[in-house]
């Protein structure tokens, strides 16, 4: 009997597989997006970077709406299936965009439609699958932390396989082959949805055997009818298509929208009369650390933009019998997470009472990120345009970035959960994701500074004329943020422990 109680419920592995295929799709798509834009659709790097920033920025914003609709109207299961199908449609639309890439009049509308569907679908898929994991266990069960670790491995298994498969079939050096990467992503999404449909009724149940993820009992039934859901998702997809197009082609409004979201949430929380001053101080810590994660992710997310350009053009990828596709390098982060996460978990336990506080860990994460960029900046120092450098510079940088991520990402999420008053738990998690969205949009802006063919760029007075200066920009930015957060850590720790 005791052995069976130690086992995780089978529902965890259902969610593991559902999430793994979705992450395969997301990271596979991210690995080839800027390559498709520059090599097949023949856009310049600045435009490709802007599209990347707008796409990944909106990807982090739509879960706020998807989580709200699921909580009040559809339930988790309906939302996951509906979102997954819309994402699959998006990938297959992008497949046809890749099929007709030479016909700009047809390819571009298909591209924006595909992007819009991916963003809208993600909003319903992403927030709902994570919230089901904890519901499989009784309150206070010690296995919940281990369950989220296993689930995180599912994310990174998909994140490692996706760029390999999509890169192998799509990033072949022939522009007409990119469509197969989108096709692979679409198939992965169908596998994800099929896993959820086939096993949710049998295995996604709480400890008492009650089915999880059902719509609330008092939710209006008309809004759960399939034609109404389809119309709603179609409308949302059209809005997302418009939002991407306007941000990329008309006016870059996304920064202002995200800033407005954060200020509105701050206003709602800090003017609430029911919260005491200690609770408000803890909320203030959430806002401060969310501000610092913007510096982390805007540099970290160069992986899908400027670092892909660097891998493509200035990394020696020929190993004699095989030329490594540049998209393969985006698997490194997930592979390192799977191998290094147990080491980091062991380190925190080993430190015992000397374990640093969450703000100190996050400052260390920013420092490791800066160190990764210092490593690659050293590798390209004095190297002229078109000269290729060893793969070891990219591999070493991604390893240091992963150590940084493990110090910052899970720690930050846990911090928000601990400090947020119950009343505002979801709203303050939205602050964290909005900060991520802001950082991803900023990543596109920074990637547009990438120097090529002697092009000079500048940001806030900092001049960039070569790759060394470009990478040093991230060293200065992340390094400064790390030092400031380090000096604030003691104050933040005191506010947290009141």
Q: CA 347, CA 445: separation in Å to the nearest integer?
A: 36
pLDDT in tens, 165-206: 999 999 999 999 999 999 999 999 999 999 999 999 999 998
pLDDT in tens, 394-420: 999 999 999 999 998 878 877 887 888
Does residue 162 lie in a domain region?
yes
The pLDDT score that the predictor gives to residue 446 is 96
241 and 263 in one domain? no
Would you place residue 431 in the very low, low, confident or very high pLDDT band (cuts 50, 70, 90)? confident
In percent, how much of the chain has pLDDT > 90?
Answer: 66
Domain's final residue, options 225, 252, 279: 252
Return the closest-CA partner of residue 119 out of 250, 30, 237: 237
Q: Which residues contact 101 (CB under 8 A, 6 or more apart)?
A: 36, 40, 41, 107, 175, 176, 178, 179
349 and 487 in one domain? yes
Does residue 2 lie in a domain region?
no
pLDDT in tens, 309-352: 999 999 999 988 889 999 999 999 999 998 988 888 888 888 88
Does residue 197 lie in a domain region?
yes
242 and 343 in one domain? no
387 and 309 in one domain? yes
215 and 268 in one domain? no
Q: CA 356, CA 176: separation in Å to the nearest integer?
A: 51
Q: CA 414, CA 251: separation in Å to the nearest integer?
A: 36
Residue 466 gets which letter from DSSP? Answer: S
The pLDDT score that the predictor gives to residue 415 is 84
Domain that holds residue 237: 7-252
Return the closest-CA partner of residue 79 out of 8, 131, 3: 131
pLDDT in tens, 47-78: 999 999 999 999 998 988 888 898 889 989 99
280 and 332 in one domain? yes
The pLDDT score that the predictor gives to residue 412 is 83
Return the closest-CA partner of residue 464 out of 473, 474, 477: 473
Does residue 151 lie in a domain region?
yes
244 and 168 in one domain? yes
pLDDT in tens, 118-176: 999 999 998 888 778 878 888 777 777 778 878 888 899 999 999 999 999 999 999 99
The pLDDT score that the predictor gives to residue 298 is 97
Does residue 16 lie in a domain region?
yes
233 and 374 in one domain? no
226 and 263 in one domain? no
Does residue 261 lie in a domain region?
yes
The pLDDT score that the predictor gives to residue 355 is 84
Q: How big is the chain by its Cα radius of gyration, in Å?
A: 22
The pLDDT score that the predictor gives to residue 178 is 97
Distance of CA 260 to the CA centre of its chain: 21
Answer left, alpha or beta for residue 441, where phi above 0 means left and psi between -120 and 50 means alpha: alpha
18 and 96 in one domain? yes
The pLDDT score that the predictor gives to residue 164 is 95
Domain's final residue, options 252, 267, 285: 252
The pLDDT score that the predictor gives to residue 1 is 37
Return the closest-CA partner of residue 338 out of 164, 166, 149: 149
The pLDDT score that the predictor gives to residue 480 is 97
The pLDDT score that the predictor gives to residue 376 is 97
Would you place residue 4 in the very low, low, confident or very high pLDDT band (cuts 50, 70, 90)? very low
The pLDDT score that the predictor gives to residue 6 is 62
Q: Which residues pair with 462 in a beta bridge?
A: 459
Number of structural domains in the chain? 2
Does residue 365 lie in a domain region?
yes
Are 267 and 427 in contact by the 8 Å Cβ rule? The answer is no
Q: CA 197, CA 188: separation in Å to the nearest integer?
A: 14
269 and 188 in one domain? no
469 and 400 in one domain? yes
Q: CA 401, CA 395: separation in Å to the nearest integer?
A: 10
Are 161 and 146 in contact by the 8 Å Cβ rule? The answer is no
Are 166 and 31 in contact by the 8 Å Cβ rule? The answer is yes
3 pLDDT more than 70 = no
428 pLDDT more than 90 = no
Between CA 17 and CA 24, with CA 159 as vertex, the angle to 5 degrees is 55
Domain's final residue, options 207, 223, 252: 252
In percent, how much of the chain has pLDDT > 70?
Answer: 99
Over range 40-46, report the average pLDDT.
Answer: 93
The pLDDT score that the predictor gives to residue 149 is 79
CATH code: domain of residue 204: 1.20.1250.20
Question: What is the average pLDDT value for the chain, to the nearest integer?
Answer: 91
Does residue 1 lie in a domain region?
no
């Amino acid at each position: 009997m005791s052995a069976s109680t130690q086992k995780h419920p089978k529902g965890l592995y259902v969610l593991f597989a559902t999430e793994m295929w979705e992450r395969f799709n997301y990271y596979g798509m991210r690995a080839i997006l800027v390559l498709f834009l520059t090599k097949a659709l023949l856009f310049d790097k600045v435009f490709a970077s802007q599209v990347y920033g707008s796409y990944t920025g909106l990807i982090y914003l739509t879960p706020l709406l998807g989580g709200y609709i699921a909580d009040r109207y559809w339930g988790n299961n309906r939302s996951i299936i509906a979102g997954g199908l819309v994402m699959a449609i998006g990938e297959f639309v992008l497949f046809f965009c890749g099929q007709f890439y030479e016909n700009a009049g047809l390819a571009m509308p298909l591209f924006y439609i595909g992007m819009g569907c991916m963003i809208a679908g993600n909003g319903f898929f992403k927030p709902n699958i994570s919230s089901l994991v904890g519901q499989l266990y009784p309150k206070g069960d010690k296995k919940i932390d281990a369950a989220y670790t296993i689930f995180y491995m599912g994310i990174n298994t998909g994140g490692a396989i996706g760029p390999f498969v999509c890169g192998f079939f799509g990033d072949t050096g022939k522009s007409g082959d990119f469509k197969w990467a989108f096709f692979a992503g679409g198939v992965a999404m169908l596998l994800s949805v099929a896993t959820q449909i086939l096993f949710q009724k049998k295995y996604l149940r709480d400890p008492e055997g009650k089915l999880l993820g059902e719509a609330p009992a008092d939710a209006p039934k008309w809004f759960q009818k399939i034609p109404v859901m389809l119309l709603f998702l179609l409308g949302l997809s059209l809005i997302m298509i418009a939002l991407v197009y306007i941000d990329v082609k008309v006016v870059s409004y996304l920064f202002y929208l995200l800033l407005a979201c954060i200020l509105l949430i701050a206003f709602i929380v800090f003017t609430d009369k029911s919260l005491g001053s200690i609770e408000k101080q803890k909320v203030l810590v959430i806002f401060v650390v969310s501000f610092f994660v913007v510096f982390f992710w805007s540099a970290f997310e160069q992986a899908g933009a400027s670092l892909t350009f660097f891998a493509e053009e200035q990394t020696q990828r020929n190993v004699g019998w095989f030329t490594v596709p540049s998209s393969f390098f985006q698997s490194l982060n997930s592979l390192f997470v799977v191998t290094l996460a147990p080491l980091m978990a062991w380190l925190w336990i080993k430190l015992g009472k000397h374990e640093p506080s969450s703000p100190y860990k996050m400052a260390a994460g920013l420092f490791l990120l800066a160190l990764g960029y210092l490593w690659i900046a050293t590798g390209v120092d004095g190297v002229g345009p078109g000269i290729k450098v060893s793969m070891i510079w990219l591999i070493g940088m991604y390893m240091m970035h992963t150590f940084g991520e493990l110090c910052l990402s899970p720690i930050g999420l846990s911090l928000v959960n601990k400090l947020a008053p119950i009343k505002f738990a979801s709203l303050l998690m939205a602050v964290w994701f909005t900060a991520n969205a802001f950082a991803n949009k900023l990543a596109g802006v920074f990637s547009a500074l990438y120097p090529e063919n002697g092009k000079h760029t500048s940001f806030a007075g900092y001049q960039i004329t070569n790759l060394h200066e470009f990478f040093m920009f991230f060293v200065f930015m992340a390094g400064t943020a790390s030092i400031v957060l380090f000096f604030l850590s003691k104050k933040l720790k005191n506010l947290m422990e009141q």
